[in-house]
Amino acid sequence: MSDVVFDRVEKMFGDFPAVRQTSFDVAPGEFVTLLGPSGSGKTTCLRMVAGFVAPTAGRILLGGRDVTRMPANRRNIGMVFQSYALFPHYTVAENIAFGLKVRRVGRAEREARVAEALRLVRLEAFAARYPAQLSGGQRQRVALARAVVIRPDVLLLDEPLAALDLKLREELQVEIKRVQSELNMTTLFVTHDQGEALSMSDRIAVMQAGGIVQMAAPHALYERPNCRFVANFLGRTNLIEVEVAGRLADGATAVRAVRGEGGWAVAGAPDQVFAIGERCFLATRPEHVRLGGSPEQAFEGVVRNLIYQGSLWQVEIEGRHGEALSALVGAGDAVPTRGAAVRASWDPARSFLLKAEEPAM
Amino acid sequence: MTRIAAPAERRAPWFLALLPSLVVLLLVFGLPLLELVYVSFHPTGGPAQIGPGLTLENYTVVFEDRLFADVMARTVGLGLAVVLCCLVVGYPVSYLLARATGSWRGTAFFLVTVSLLVSSVVRNLGWFPILGESGVVNWILTSTGVIQTPLRLVGNIVGVMIGLVHAELPIMILTLTTVIRRIEPDLEEAAQSLGGGPVAVFWRVLLPLSLPGVISGSLLIFTLSISAFTTPAILGGNRVLIMAIYIAQQFQIVLDYPAGASAAIMLLVTAAGLTWAATRIRARGGEAG
């Protein structure tokens, strides 16, 4: 049985559909991320699970109970906010004890559980401090301890890392993941940061314009995006407009460029059926594109730009008809100069086709 | 250094701008106040007369005169009751105002503050058609059969209380709204997510965090209530003997100037002390917020 069930939920703000009929579920102990740009409805979904926003239609189940009309304080959820939302007039220990106090947990048990929660986030030494005396990372660890100490049915994380600087964000990412798996806590996480989503989640639901476009495990989502939006929201993807030319003997599909004379074999397993002559997009990740290679699987062009990324160079190549291709080249490898004519190629198994139309929502 | 300082040296000292108003205030306010202090330390020399010699008797009377002690107790009690009513009525309104958004907020603020713009005499007289024996309230209560004989709502302490609460509520609401608006709504949601119902959210989060506003608003309103004169005079019909009325009677009817002066000084010191405390608390709350 799933801990969170989101059943055909809809939310209208006036005439604006913030969330269009959306369904998903979270299994016990699972870490699910709602990923999307701002305005995609991910935060509204989380706030409906929390009980701060009432859905216009549909049902929400937590641990098998229908909570659609239940006020937030009776749902047994733990929530971590982007703003930390620590009570400034309480110490760290009092903040963590808040949920236990309103649940009328006895003093001895309360103190034991607060101490345990402080140990969990490694802030034992800070119990008597006030939130104003803590750093951003420490505050968010207190908020996490406060949310899990009540043993919630589901832990809700609303962009908890967005207010932190890069290094702290990475540290806290590890910390949250460690706490979550130590407690085997069912978790729903909202972020617009694809890196966070990929590294922390069991499954990711990519949202756009109030609906889920694709929901899958991180590697499946990265390797097999089902549309151009997902392909470019999670990392970057080269898209070349092509036409299906025919089938090859090994099961691969032959395509030819709509502009120019390039032709390629595509061997990535297709989710969808592509008819001969259909216009679609050939997709391949920059890290799978290498310079050189055989002429029959080649993209010919001129180096327009070189972007240094530390361990890698990003090489931007422009084809004769203005098509763009991006390749990642190891810093130790031979790097072409700007303006040089180059040939790039990729393994047919590392490319796949995407439909010309985006899925309707 | 000298070049930078030069223009400042040529500029007139800033307090010159205050000089005209300072002079006026000293003449019409400071001097009479000093005279009041002077009179309060003299014995009475018959009606409207000041006797010779210095005395503390006008102040020690507080502990001896039963009538005066009653006046003091009634004044303090009235002040506390008005504060309590303003808090109970004003807090929910302030909360809604603090959390209101959009155009609704401007309208609501106007409605709250508009009564501050009305002259206190007009505001008080306006209560008579509502609270009088044949007023709206009594008419509704008698015609619906809730009561048989009309209630006395003016010319007594009930009327004074209604008038004072009405007059001072906007001040309480403005003070509380400012403080509540500084409390992040996320804190309330956090408290709810942790299992706190409306009561817990109020007692454990909202009230402690808005306490500076509650205290400074209460002190202000207490001060205004114990020193109010117009409202007790009009709605109390001169029958509710509180400090301001007592002082006026000493000067105008009894003609015991030293007794009136000492009472006025005591009221003034109390009010000034409380106002100072309210300002201090508000400043400290501002730093914390």
pLDDT tens digits for range A163-205: 888 888 999 999 999 999 999 999 999 999 999 999 999 999 9
Flag whether pLDDT at B205 surpasses 50. Answer: yes
Q: How confident is the model at residue A53 (pLDDT cuts 50, 70, 90)?
A: very high
* % of chain A at pLDDT higher than 70: 98
Write the residue in B193, B200, B288 that is nearest to A72 by C-beta: B193
Q: What is the mean pLDDT of chain A?
A: 91
Among chain A residues, the shortest Cα distance to B285 is held by A89
B221 CA: distance to closest CA in chain A (Å)? 26
Question: What pLDDT is attached to residue A235?
Answer: 86
Can you tell me which residue has the tokens 């409805």?
A: A41
pLDDT digits (tens, 9 = 90+) for A92-137: 999 999 999 999 999 999 999 999 999 999 999 999 999 999 999 9
Distance CA B55, CA B71 (A): 22
pLDDT digits (tens, 9 = 90+) for B165-180: 999 999 999 999 999 9
pLDDT (average), residues A218-246:
90
Write the residue in A81, A87, A99 that is nearest to B195 by C-beta: A99
Among A267-271, B153-157, B278-282, the least confident range: A267-271
Give contacts of A 20-59 with B, CB under 8 A: 50-52
Tokens of A330: 């190891």
Flag whether pLDDT at B289 surpasses 50. Answer: no
Among chain A residues, the shortest Cα distance to B199 is held by A102
Q: From chain A, pick out residues whose CB is under 8 angstroms from the CB of B190.
A: 79, 81, 85-87, 143, 146
Among chain B residues, the shortest Cα distance to A77 is held by B193
Q: From chain A, pick out residues whose CB is under 8 angstroms from the CB of B207.
A: none
pLDDT (average), residues A229-235:
89
Q: What is the mean pLDDT of chain B?
A: 88
Question: What pLDDT is attached to residue B1?
Answer: 43
Find the DSSP H helices in B100-205: 103-113, 120-125, 128-131, 136-143, 157-181, 185-193, 198-200
Q: How confident is the model at residue B275 (pLDDT cuts 50, 70, 90)?
A: confident
Question: What pLDDT is attached to residue B285?
Answer: 60
What CATH number labels B59-288?
1.10.3720.10
Cβ distance of B193 and A76 shorter than 8 Å: no
* % of chain A at pLDDT higher than 90: 66
Cβ distance of B200 and A102 shorter than 8 Å: yes
Write the residue in B184, B194, B208 that is nearest to A89 by C-beta: B208
Q: From chain B, pick out residues whose CB is under 8 angstroms from the CB of A71.
A: 192, 197
Instruction: Pick the residue of B99, B188, B193, B207 with the most A CBs within 10 A to test the interface with A by mutation.
Output: B193
pLDDT digits (tens, 9 = 90+) for A313-336: 899 999 888 888 999 988 777 788
Flag whether pLDDT at B135 surpasses 80. Answer: yes
Please indicate if any CB of chain B lies within 8 Å of the CB of A89: yes
Among A178-192, A225-239, A251-265, B72-86, the least confident range: A251-265
Task: Kindly provide the ipTM of the predicted complex, given to two decimals.
Answer: 0.85
Please indicate if any CB of chain B lies within 8 Å of the CB of A155: no
Contacts (Cβ under 8 Å, ≥6 apart) of A234: A35, A194, A197, A198, A204, A206, A221, A222, A225
Flag whether pLDDT at A361 surpasses 60. Answer: no
Q: How confident is the model at residue A281 (pLDDT cuts 50, 70, 90)?
A: very high
Residue B100's closest CA among B180, B37, B27? B180
| Residue A10 identity | E
